Amino acid sequence: MASPITAKEKPSENPILFVARPMATAARQFAKSLIRPATIVYPYERLEDPTFRDRVAVASGRPIGVGHVWDNYRGVHALNIATCISCNLCAFSCPDLCIEMVTVPGGDPKHPKKCPEIDYGKCSYCGFCSDACPEGCLTMTTRYELSVARRAEMVYSPEKLYDVFRTKLPMNPIRVERPANEDAILLDPPLCIGCNACSRDCPTQCITMLDIPKPAAKPGEKQTKRIWKEPVINDSDCVRCGTCISVCPKECLFWGTRK
């Protein structure tokens, strides 16, 4: 452990120097700046242009290009409507409640397809939604120019987000991996009434209703005519969106660790 250091005490100042040293430093900076100032002439020079990035870095003597690894930037979202499974995870994960799931064409009447509509007036660009997206269809791009004339234009409909996707901007390449042993959705069999709600609403169709053996009729009772079915969840396809849990009328699905 090094001894405590005392910041250098006042050096004796030569009064003849007076103002010469700072002026010399400023003049040196002036000379450097004549060649290439550090500023970026924004509308003409853009950070996301890689050739420009390197040119500036070399010319101004700065150690890194402006916006090194620019692709990681968290800007406007891009949505691939085709692969969206309407799992709602983006809307659930949004801390600012700026994502609303709106119906887009493509679903069947019973299960309308819903895709996120983002209000950029509220968005804080935290990236939780794109982290949460299990299919990688909602990502953040490097687009950052968002000024609009009217407030209503700040709300980006799924179609508009799809337009962003189609411009093929660099997508944020950082994907967060799923934890190896995460919780799965478990069933509490005695409570299940076999209503099929979970299977019907599952965005990934990973729940199948399987016949289960009928319980034997007790002596003196009539054999029930009801068909006994129970959900079986395919864990590898499940995206853990929890839709099944929320639609279950009997609350017989829950999170837990599969043995």
Partner 1 sequence: MASATLYSVSDGLASALLHALGSVLPGPARAAVTNPNVIVGLAVLIFAVILLAASMLNTILLIWWERKLLGRFMDRRGAMHVGFAGLLQNFADGLKLFRKNTFQPQEADPLGFYTGPCAYMVTSLIIFGVLPISSGWNAGTLPLTLLLALAIFSFAPLFIFVSAWSSNNKYSLMGGMRSAAQMIAYEVPILLAVVAVILVAGSFNLTTIVYEQQNYWFWGPLVVALIVFVAGMLAEMERIPFDLPEAEAELVEGWNTEYGGMLFAFFMLADYLRALVGSILVVLLFLGGWTMPTWVPGALTSFPLAGIFWFMVKTYTVFGLFVWVRASLPRVRTDQLLRVGWNRMIPLSLLSIFLAAVLVTVKCLPLLGCVPGVGS
Partner 2 sequence: MSEMWINMGPQHPMTHGLWNLRVKIDGEMILDVDPEMGYLHRGIEKISEDRHYNEVITLMDRCCYVAGFAWEHLYIQSAEQALGLRPPERAEYLRVLCDEFQRIASHLMWYAAFVQDIGLMSPFLYGMRDRDLVLDLFQSYTGARMTYEYMRVGGVRNDVPPGFTDQARKVLDWLSDRFVEYDQLCLGSTIFRERCDDLGTLKANDCVAHGVTGPMLRAAGLKRDLRKDRPYAAYDRLEFDVAVADSADVTARYLVRMEEMRQSVRILRQVVDWLDRHPGPVLAERLPRWLGAPYAPIGNEGYLLKRHYAKGVGFSAVEEPHGEAQAYVVNDGGEHPYRVKFRSPVFANISAARQYLVGYHVADIPPIMGSVDVCVGEVDR
Task: Pick the stretch among 21-29, 51-59, 217-225, 251-259 that binds partner 1 (CB under 8 A).
Answer: 21-29
Binding span for partner 2 by CB under 8 A among 161-169, 178-186, 189-197, 210-218: 178-186
Q: What are phi and psi of 140, to 5 degrees?
A: -105, 140
124 is a contact residue toward partner 2 (CB under 8 A): yes
Of 48, 56, 73, 101, the one binding partner 2 (CB under 8 A) is 73
- Residues in contact with partner 1, total (CB under 8 A)? 15
Report if residue 38 touches partner 2, rule: CB under 8 A.
yes
Q: What are the two backbone dihedrals, phi and then psi, of residue 151, each rounded to the nearest 5 degrees?
A: -65, -35
For partner 1, the binding residue among 2, 5, 16, 30 (CB under 8 A) is 30
Tokens of 184: 């799965």
The string of DSSP letters for 104-171 reads EBTB-SSS-EEEEEEETTT-----HHHHH-TTS-EEEBS------SSGGGGEEPHHHHHHHHHTTPPB
Q: Are the C-beta atoms of residues 172 and 139 closer than 8 Å to each other?
A: yes
CB of 99 to partner 2, least distance (A): 11
Q: How far apart are CA 258 and CA 172, in angstroms?
A: 33
226 Cβ neighbours under 8 A, 6+ residues apart: 194
Pick the closer one to partner 2 by CB: 125 or 228. 125
Q: Which of 17, 38, 184, 217 forms a contact with partner 1 (CB under 8 A)?
A: 38
- Return the one option of partner 2, partner 1, none that residue 32 interacts with (CB less than 5 to 8 A, by type): partner 1
Contact residues for partner 1, defined by CB under 8 A = 19, 22-23, 25-27, 29-30, 32-34, 37-39, 41
